[in-house]
Structure 1
Amino acid sequence: MKKFNLRNFKLRRVTVQDLDDRLLLVNLYATQALMLIIGTAWLIFQGQNPISLLAWPDGLQFLYWGAGLAAAALLVNLAAERWMPEEAADDGGVNDRLFRGRPVWHILLISATAALCEEMLFRGAVQHHLGPYWTSIVFAAIHVRYLKHWIPTGLVFLTSYGLGWIYIETGTLWAPIAAHFLIDAAGGLMIRFRRES
């Protein structure tokens, strides 16, 4: 058996451009699975039932809340993109690499996966423990690629706070899941079909 030598171990910085498409997707889905596992475990430790948390609500009222928040968030993001400097919107090329050449069905799958996994963790478990304000700070902090510029970080915080607010107002996790899905899907589709200037 080969002996592992710790002295030969070196860390190096990796950018999104260093990752091939397969590794980028493995990283994305692994992180989402980890969020779902942590969220489910946290819910169980809190004495909540993850299955009942995802019970389908009566009526479609939650969709109006989700679509309304998604529309507001997208309008604010589009306005911010129009007036903020281009370097302030730089996320290191992650979103572009993730969505640019992706088929529409895969953009929708990525958006649905992120919406379900992240909302189970943040709105379902973390918000139950910390409330919407501190949950939004943690949510903005895990979106590390935006932290070097205050405008995108602020927008992520505000979107997260809105997701927490509609969760409180509707009493169902499906409202923030719907909003999160619509925001991510619309953003991904805009990147996918954006014309190069």
Structure 2
Amino acid sequence: MKKFDIRKIRFKTVSIDQIDDRLLLINLYATQAVTLVIGLIWIFFQHRNPFLLFALPRELSFLFWGLGLAVVVIAVDLLVSRFVPEEAGDDGGVNDRIFKNRPVWHIIVLSLIVSICEETLFRGAIQHNLGPYWTSIVFALIHVRYLKHWIPTGLVFSISYALGWIYIQSGSLWAPIVAHFVIDMVMGFVIRFRRGT
């Protein structure tokens, strides 16, 4: 039996065009699973109960916080995309690859999974220790594909800070989850049904 030599592992940079659709989805689902697990472990080490974090509030005010923020973010994003050159918001084609040819049901599922996993880690776990400002810096850095341009980086930071703010105001993790879900889903639909591309 051959011995495994870790020194022989080589990494190479690949562009989004070099990854097939199946591998892209595997990568997306795997990173979201890792994000959720890290978030739950972090919450556990904070001596908090994740079940209480996900408890649905009796009042529906969290929906107003989440939907209200989603409407504002989508409006700002559509305005920015109308007046800012396309190359200033370039993410390397990742969002197009994820959403462009995806069925509607799959866009909804992806948006739901991403919103639950990322909000568990960032608002549920990290923000508890670092607050919304530093959490938003980490959130922007994690979305590395936007770091080439200051406009999308600023938007990602601002959206993250707003998600943290509505979490504080509503007292429920479901407010940022709803906002994140609606934003991703609507922007996924915009990419999916955009004409002329």
**TM-score normalised over the length of structure 1:** 0.96
5 Å-filtered alignment, 1:12-91, equals: 12-91=12-91
Instruction: Give the aligned CA root-mean-square deviation in angstroms.
Output: 1.2
Query: Which residue is equivalent to 1:165?
Result: 165
5 Å-filtered alignment, 1:1-197, equals: 1-4=1-4, 9-196=9-196
Amino acid at match of 2:73: A
* Offset, 1:11: 2.5
Q: Judging changes above 3 Å, is the alpha-carbon distance between structure 1 residues 49 and 6 closer, same or farther for their aligned structure 2 residues?
A: closer
How far, CA to CA, are the matches of 1:41 and 1:6 in structure 2?
Answer: 28
- Report the 3-state secondary structure (helix = DSSP H, G, I; strand = E; otherwise coil) of the residue aligned with 2:55: coil
Gaps of 5+ in 1: none
- Report the 3-state secondary structure (helix = DSSP H, G, I; strand = E; otherwise coil) of the residue aligned with 1:34: helix
Q: Judging changes above 3 Å, is the alpha-carbon distance between structure 1 residues 7 and 117 closer, same or farther for their aligned structure 2 residues?
A: closer
* Offset, 1:59: 2.1
* Offset, 1:13: 1.1
How far, CA to CA, are the matches of 1:60 and 1:35 in structure 2?
Answer: 27
How far, CA to CA, are the matches of 2:42 and 2:132 in structure 1?
Answer: 16
- Report the 3-state secondary structure (helix = DSSP H, G, I; strand = E; otherwise coil) of the residue aligned with 1:159: helix
* Offset, 1:184: 0.2
Gaps of 5+ in 2: none
Per-residue CA shift, 1:66-117, capped at 9, x if unaligned? 0110010111111111121211111010000000000000000000000000
Name the count of aligned residue pairs.
Answer: 197
Moved over 6 A (4+): none
Q: Judging changes above 3 Å, is the alpha-carbon distance between structure 1 residues 47 and 5 closer, same or farther for their aligned structure 2 residues?
A: closer
How far, CA to CA, are the matches of 1:4 and 1:48 in structure 2?
Answer: 40
How far, CA to CA, are the matches of 1:10 and 1:58 in structure 2?
Answer: 52
Percent identity between matched residues is: 62
Amino acid at match of 1:126: I
How far, CA to CA, are the matches of 1:5 and 1:36 in structure 2?
Answer: 31
How far, CA to CA, are the matches of 1:154 and 1:62 in structure 2?
Answer: 25
* Offset, 1:191: 0.4
Which stretch shifts more, 82-91 or 172-181? 82-91
How far, CA to CA, are the matches of 1:88 and 1:171 in structure 2?
Answer: 35
* Offset, 1:10: 3.2
How far, CA to CA, are the matches of 2:119 and 2:131 in structure 1?
Answer: 14
